[in-house]
Structure 1
Amino acid sequence: MFSDKKEKSMNEPTTGQNRINEGTKLKGDIQSQGFFRIDGTIEGNVNTPSKVVIGKSGFINGTLTCENADIEGRFEGELQVSGTLSLKETAHIEGQVVAGKLAVEPGATFNATCSMKGSTKKNLGANTNSTVEKDIKGQNHPFDRSQRIQSVKAESKTE
């Protein structure tokens, strides 16, 4: 009745740590409010508003949704990281990735489609008849390749 204890919201990350040790295999979905270290194998979905570390012997096949992730092991599936995704040199990623920030060490294998949070997708090559870039003075830009090609064609026709 007179307690000063505050109840924690179920949506806030906790300081509790969860560990799945090497040799452990889990099938199913995992939802937690705390930090995760995975050195075993998970087939299913992992969802936490905290950080996930996949150790060198760790493997996830499924969907991982978290705030930050450090990956040294293997991941196959859909990876959704709202903060920073760090891939160490021993990491092996395959699937689909959405991340706020991406850090990849040399040696990491990254075979995935990747999009950055907050980015807008641009359709490259959709407009093949683009206008020539102009500089501030309204002149053709000196590094515009299409202008150089046109001038070379014009010179070769006059010769």
Structure 2
Amino acid sequence: MAIFDDENNNQSTGSPFTRSTTSRTSSMDGTKEGNIHIGSGVSVNGEINAPNEVIVNGKHTGKVAAGKISVKNGGGVDGETAVETAEIEGNYDGNLQVAGTLSVSSSGVAKGEIRYKDLEIALGGKISGTIAEMSDEDFQKSKIKLVKDEEETNKKSGGGFFGTAKEEDN
């Protein structure tokens, strides 16, 4: 999941994307809160800020800031998106910034200004426009932060999920 700077910092740096990074699990059905699903036949215009995943089976026009975007076969997005990962099975047209992996399936079409860190294109998938690998410097300027970056920092500082290991004296 990507983490974006808070809105105040974003305004000072000129970055167009902000979003909350809170993620919770619903106790009723075990699914993560913070996902958005645009169903087939549904058309949405506007800005989406989702802490987890945006799944598009219908159509979306506007900005998206999320951990992941999945444009399903038959779905389409026209706009500006900043995510950690993107899976394109349908049509994407616009400005797409992917801090991690951009995957384009055999049915996927991605057009526009596209920046990515890693790229996977299946046979038959199409990608066109201004396409470039995101450099480390561009990644830092984008204000997209990966959760694994924070986990590495915690491990190096002795913190982390399992705590610190103690060395025994012999």
User: TM-score interval w.r.t. the shorter chain?
Assistant: 0.5 to 0.7
Q: Quote how far apart the aligned CAs of 1:115 are.
A: 1.1
Relative contact order, higher structure (CA 8 A, sep 6+)? 2
Number of aligned residues: 111
Task: Tell me the distance in 2 between the aligned counterparts of 1:112 and 1:54.
Answer: 18
| 1:42 maps onto 2:52 in alignment | no
Cα shift at 1:12 = 4.8
TM-score normalized by the length of structure 1: 0.65
Higher helix share: 2
Q: Which runs of 5+ in 1 are unaligned?
A: 1-9, 121-159
Unaligned runs of 5+ in 2: 1-19, 25-31, 138-170
Task: Give per-residue Cα distances to partners, 1:47-68, cap 9 Å, x unaligned.
Answer: 11x1111100110000111100
Distance 1:31 1:105 in 2: 28
CA distance, structure 1, for counterparts of residue 56 and residue 89 of structure 2? 10
- The offset of 1:11, in angstroms, is 2.8
4+ residue runs over 4 A deviation:
none
**Match in the other structure for 1:53:** 70
User: Normalised by the size of structure 2, how large is the TM-score?
Assistant: 0.61
Q: Distance in 2 between matches of 1:117 and 1:92?
A: 20
Alignment correspondent of 1:22: 40
CA distance in 2, matches of 1:65, 1:12: 17
State which drifts further: 83-92 or 25-34: 25-34
Q: Percentage identity across aligned positions?
A: 25
Q: 1:6-45 CA distances to partner (integer Å, 9 max, x unpaired)?
A: xxxx335563222110000011111111212110101111
Indicate the structure (1 or 2) with the bigger Cα radius of gyration. Answer: 1
